[in-house]
Amino acid sequence: MTKPISFCWYRGVNGPDVPVPPDRRPRARREWLHFPDRVNEASARLVATGVVILGLLYLLTGSAWPVALLAYGFVARVAAGPTFSPLAQLVTRLITPRVAPGARTVAGPPKRFAQGIGATLSVAAATAHALGHPAVAATLVAMIVGAASLEAGAGYCIGCRIHALLVRAGIASPEACPDCADISRTRAA
């Protein structure tokens, strides 16, 4: 019996030898914690816009929920790309297809590095807020807002630049991101 290429066959999932379409296959846990090798540049800039909005909400209100959402979002995006981030899901599934359907892609590892910097700063800000140090939290969130504003408005990713410099200096592995080994190729990263 010939099996169609677009289907994966699972015994016992939908009955004996019943085809399961690709979008209905069980995913391995390892796939959930995967950051994409290429990232849609428009999506990255739109997520940065959402980060700016959340950061400004925190700076204007001093409320805990925006900084908590920032911290969760950054940690989720570092761990699994857009998979567990509500902001990234909103952007990649609803906004980007309508606003910039043919946007170019950029290397994923520098974006993940930048998300890691954001995760570090936002978790520190959430912790400072929880421990009663709002000035420290506001300073850290202001740093996030500044960097995210550059990404959202000008497409300039500070974390990506740092990543490219670390690759060129031999501190980060060039195998993880061949595009990063040549900093001239990362002009718009």
Pull the structure tokens for residue 59: 């700076």
Nearest to 63 by CA among 71, 55, 51: 55
* CA separation for the pair 73, 75 (Å, rounded): 6
* pLDDT tens, residue by residue, 92-110: 999 999 998 887 889 889 9
Question: How does residue 167 score in pLDDT terms, banded at 50, 70 and 90?
Answer: confident
CA torsion sign for 34, 40, 46, 52 is positive
What are the helix (H) ranges across the chain?
29-32, 41-61, 64-80, 86-90, 96-99, 108-130, 134-154, 158-168, 178-181
Per-residue pLDDT at 38: 87
HSE, side-chain direction, 13 A CA sphere, residue 89? 7
Nearest to 163 by CA among 175, 145, 184, 181: 181
Nearest to 108 by CA among 162, 38, 187: 38
The structure's pTM equals 0.78
Question: How does residue 182 score in pLDDT terms, banded at 50, 70 and 90?
Answer: low
